Amino acid sequence: MKAAVFREVGQPLEVEEVSISKPGPREVLIRTAAAGVCHSDLHFVEGLYPAVTPMVLGHESAGIVEQVGSSVIYVKPGDHVITCLSVFCGHCEQCVTGHMSLCENPELRRGKDEQPRLMQDEKPMQQFANLSSFAEQMLVHEHAIVKIREDMPLDRAALIGCGVTTGIGSVFHTAAVEPGSTVAVIGCGGVGLSCINGAALVGAGQIIAIDTVASKLELAKTFGATDVINAADVDPVEQVKELTNGGVQYSFEAIGLKTTAEQSFRMLRAGGTATIIGMIPVGVKIELTGSAFLQEKKIQGSNMGSNRFRIDMPRFIEFYLAGKLHLDEMISKRISLGDINEAFVDMKSGSVARSVIMFDH
């Protein structure tokens, strides 16, 4: 099969022939239909997060089941599925206490004494996030997928696999935003737009979108933003405080930068909560004013929207089909696998919300 291979930090990905193993007892082979290009992939290409190479990147995807292992009963060939990088075992402490997105059980991956899922010239290749969806096929654990209705377009379903679930889940689950409350979202890429959409779905009273790209701020209004701030022109913290008479109850940082993470905390009112969704690079520290904690301000992280993806993702599909979840507007470009490096350039320029790789089979 063809796959986009990451070999060296800072270098373009190359589309190469890669071998994929056959499903083990609890594994599923999927024909990839669509894969979103997410900022998390770019973090590894740029060396902001460590990686063992060669590796096939990609983690936001949907496809059709081709084969199943001998013990798999959840899906069968022909079923449509969305993948999720927060694979769960179902029996560790995190899973049984309701924190499935934090499961790190090694049994979900193949052991060192087993044949790797991906190989090239008899040499192992690394599988990214237990998925590696920048490829024509994926071989995954059965707990990395959710079965979906077949009338859901797979290019839009792919977005639910990461960005949408991360953004909406951070609102629904991590922060538990209350109806009528004030919300600010820093960063209007795919995750930030989903966060805005989620805030609108729960009935937030005021939703402030913050970015430095005017076109993204216009798009944010479509997703539910009631106010927009161009941080290239004004101090976003002061502007938020002015718009809300003192600060928001909930803020979300959807970029992954030190400056914006600190801003998300500073724009809170007393008792407010800042949720960091963006992937802040390894080793970067953020600075907070200690006295602000006397006002019961809080800052927290969110991993994949604290999801329960087998419950959440089918619900998000129903929201989309009912016209409440804006996925059509999020797709800026549909591209081929060979256009992956151009998609990263577009992402860095801020000119797109999401590029989606479409696979022709």
pLDDT reported for residue 117:
98
The predicted model gives 40-51 an average pLDDT of: 92
What positions carry a catalytic annotation? 38, 40, 43, 59, 162
In terms of Cα–Cα distance, which of 15, 49, 97 is closest to 281?
A: 49
C-alpha dist (Å) from residue 50 to 44, 120, 342? 7, 22, 22
pLDDT in tens, 121-174: 999 999 999 999 999 999 999 999 999 999 999 999 999 999 999 999 999 999
In terms of Cα–Cα distance, which of 172, 237, 165 is closest to 199?
A: 172
Has residue 104 got a pLDDT over 90? no
- State the residue for tokens 């009935």: 203
Please give the structure tokens belonging to residue 159: 């977005």
Residue pair 69/142 in contact by the 8 Å Cβ criterion: yes
| Helix/strand/coil percent split, the chain, to 5 | 35, 25, 40
Has residue 361 got a pLDDT over 80? no
In the CATH scheme, what architecture does the domain 2-162+306-358 have? Answer: Alpha-Beta Complex (3.90)
Has residue 324 got a pLDDT over 90? yes
pLDDT in tens, 328-337: 999 999 999 9
* In 132-225, beta strands by DSSP E: 137-141, 145-148, 182-186, 206-211
Query: Rounded distance, CA 255 to CA 42, Å?
Result: 12
pLDDT in tens, 24-45: 999 999 999 999 999 899 999 9
The predicted model gives 76-83 an average pLDDT of: 98
C-alpha dist (Å) from residue 82 to 22, 148, 195, 242, 310? 20, 7, 20, 42, 9
pLDDT in tens, 177-234: 999 999 999 999 999 999 999 999 999 999 999 999 999 999 999 999 999 999 999 9
In terms of Cα–Cα distance, which of 329, 322, 277, 317 is closest to 299?
A: 277
pLDDT reported for residue 53:
95
Secondary structure of 76-93 in the HEC alphabet? CCCCEEEECCCCCCCCCH
pLDDT reported for residue 352:
84
| 349 vs 329: which has the higher pLDDT | 329
pLDDT reported for residue 232:
96
Domain-wise residue ranges, the chain:
2-162+306-358, 176-301
Has residue 351 got a pLDDT over 90? no
Cα three-residue angle 312-315-320, rounded to 5 degrees: 125
Percent with pLDDT over 70 in the chain? 100
CATH number of the 176-301 domain: 3.40.50.720
SS3 40: helix
Has residue 10 got a pLDDT over 90? yes
